[in-house]
A and B are shown apart, each in its own frame.
Chain A
Amino acid sequence: MDFISILSIFVLSCFVGYFVVWSVTPALHTPLMAVTNAISSVIIVGALIAAAATGAPGAKWLGLAAVVMASVNIFGGFAVTQRMLAMYKKKER
């Protein structure tokens, strides 16, 4: 992909993010932070490529360490979000 297509994706995603996040109810701002935390760990994709690559053993171990950190975040982030969201209850009438 050339730089301009990447930049286009980035700028458009910023706009999507802007509008989507303003529509999030303030009551769910803490789960929002937890879930954004989990999804920003999509950086695990880069970590996996590094861990799977051959050629530089140093890079491979750095990649593996990054895989551990990102998966703590992914599993922890989604699990804690799920736990919080399960607590929000409507009034029984």
Chain B
Amino acid sequence: MEHANATPAWVLIAYLVSGICFILALRGLSSPVSSRRGNQFGMFGMTLAVVTTLIHYAPRMPTPVVGPAPFNIEAILLIAAAIGIGAVIGIVTARRIAMTAMPQLVAAFHSLVGMAAVLVGAAAFLNPLAFGIAEANGLIHISSRIEMGLGVAIGAITFSGSVIAFLKLNGNMSGKPIMLPLRHVINLGTLAGIVGLTAYFTQDQSQWVFWTIVGLSFAIGFLLIIPIGGADMPVVVSMLNSYSGWAAAAMGFTLHNSAMIITGALVGSSGAILSYIMCRAMNRSFISVIAGGFGGGDAGATEGAVAIDRPWKRGSAEDAAFLMKQAELVIVAPGYGMAVAQAQHAVREMAELLEKEGVEVKFAIHPVAGRMPGHMNVLLAEANVPYDDIFELEDINAEFSRADVAFVIGANDVTNPAAKTDKSSPIYGMPVLDVEKAKTVLFVKRSMGGVGYAGVDNELFYRDNTMMLLADAKKMVEEIVKAMGSGH
């Protein structure tokens, strides 16, 4: 009874095997070919972890005087029902969700991991003996209290932060940063409060200490994300991905569970690497993203109004069709705007027509195109664009100089040459697609008025080799497809 944590070896080995399966699941993602089998490894690992836990910890009735304790059928049914409810909600959501809405879905899923960590931490706090982390008199081990405090804190931050990220991505809340006065003081004070209370928790295992840590952590998660603007959302989603991993790892420390620790560490480092890649792709430091305030949309509004008087060239769908059919190499640079206009299917049709004419078509993806890492790749895959036609920034940038046409659709900031030349630009230093090096740039845009997410005007519009195609992205591409068909 005192040593519920004297876990048998077969259970530990089963957890180790599921940890290895999770590593293989991530490893599989090194190429689309191996990825599907990787996902199966992941599912197998999870099943193994759940079944092992269910067998070893199956609920039983109080131990009778003689013989083994019978199973507690009612408790088993409750657990089965809980898993069943979750399975139905999860599978239905996964089937129905539109690919454009993936960032919101991922944010919502992160919030669930965070909340589950808080609930498990609270359950361990209320019933520490069941987890083998307390003396027989109910006093929780000192080290477990620290781990528990940190675990619920990270879980709560993940939850409330992800809820805000979800609301911003889903459009329920404005993408504009919300700047509270003295927010750095408030944030640091709250963080200090959480750390201090966790230290105090080792001395006093009272209810109020535990729940205050939980409450403050919910508050800080909320406070940390509200000042972060829409442009930085790819970083935020990656960061919360990382937090959800650390939350699982911290709970693994609390409960001495190797499956949770291995997985938590994998997910934590994965999210951290993605955040780093996103920050690098925007030339922003992690600290400046966390500090918030970027991408409000008002920073460059006045400059944009001045710049609009500069001369620019307008083209028609027929011009575009003609230019591209004469080309040898066309590079399409899509952005999230293409997906919003639902133009990806028309773009694929255009690419197929061009290839029939003997034109080579490639797609160039900037790491922050879309609302989360790799988002554009999924959207193009959904539109049946083969993945071997799609190239990352560093692999394709050298090819723009030999391209006859760069076709920019729904992307803006990630093509702005000012990032390379204009030191005063807010996006200076950000790696961009070298579209201006192509012989002709066709830029599909709704109107000349709007600016990109970063709120800066794009110098590309006024270049001699740029032709603006002003229309709804989907309509414009459909017209180009029509013009190509009738051109014979």
Residues of A whose CB lies within 8 Å of any CB of B are 1, 3, 6, 9-11, 13-14, 16-18, 20-56, 58-60, 62-92
Distance between B238 CB and nearest chain A CB, rounded to angstroms: 7
Whether A49 contacts B260 by the Cβ 8 Å rule is no
Whether B268 contacts A14 by the Cβ 8 Å rule is yes
User: Which partner residue on chain B sits nearest A2 by CB separation?
Assistant: B256
Whether B25 contacts A44 by the Cβ 8 Å rule is no
Residues in B neighbouring A79, C-beta threshold 8 A? 90-91, 94-95
6 cross-chain pairs, A with B, having the tightest CB-CB distances, nearest first? A71-B86, A29-B374, A76-B90, A53-B130, A75-B90, A17-B269
Residues in B neighbouring A17, C-beta threshold 8 A? 26, 265-270
Check A82/B39 contact, CB under 8 A, given A20-B266, A32-B274, A33-B373: yes
Check A77/B263 contact, CB under 8 A, given A43-B251, A48-B79, A51-B78: no
Check A33/B94 contact, CB under 8 A, given A27-B32, A52-B75, A55-B129: no
Whether B75 contacts A14 by the Cβ 8 Å rule is no
Check A78/B46 contact, CB under 8 A, given A41-B113, A51-B78: yes
Q: Which bracket fits the contact residues of B?
A: 35 or more
Residues of B whose CB lies within 8 Å of any CB of A are 5, 15, 18-19, 22-23, 25-27, 29-33, 35-36, 38-39, 42-43, 45-46, 49-50, 53-54, 57-60, 62, 72, 75, 78-79, 82-83, 85-87, 89-91, 93-95, 97, 99, 102, 105-106, 109-110, 112-113, 115-117, 119-120, 122-124, 126-127, 129-131, 143, 237-238, 241, 244-245, 247-249, 251-253, 255-271, 273-274, 277, 365, 367, 372-375, 377-378, 381-382, 384, 386-390, 392
Residues in A neighbouring B109, C-beta threshold 8 A? 34, 37, 72-73, 76-77
Residues in A neighbouring B72, C-beta threshold 8 A? 54
Cα distance A11–B2 in the bound complex, in angstroms: 29
Whether B26 contacts A36 by the Cβ 8 Å rule is yes
Please indicate which of the listed interface residues A36, A46, A51, A87 has the most CB atoms of chain B within 10 Å of its own CB. A36
Main secondary structure of the interface of B (DSSP, over half): helix
Distance between B83 CB and nearest chain A CB, rounded to angstroms: 5
Whether A23 contacts B30 by the Cβ 8 Å rule is yes
Distance between B378 CB and nearest chain A CB, rounded to angstroms: 5
Cα distance A9–B460 in the bound complex, in angstroms: 51
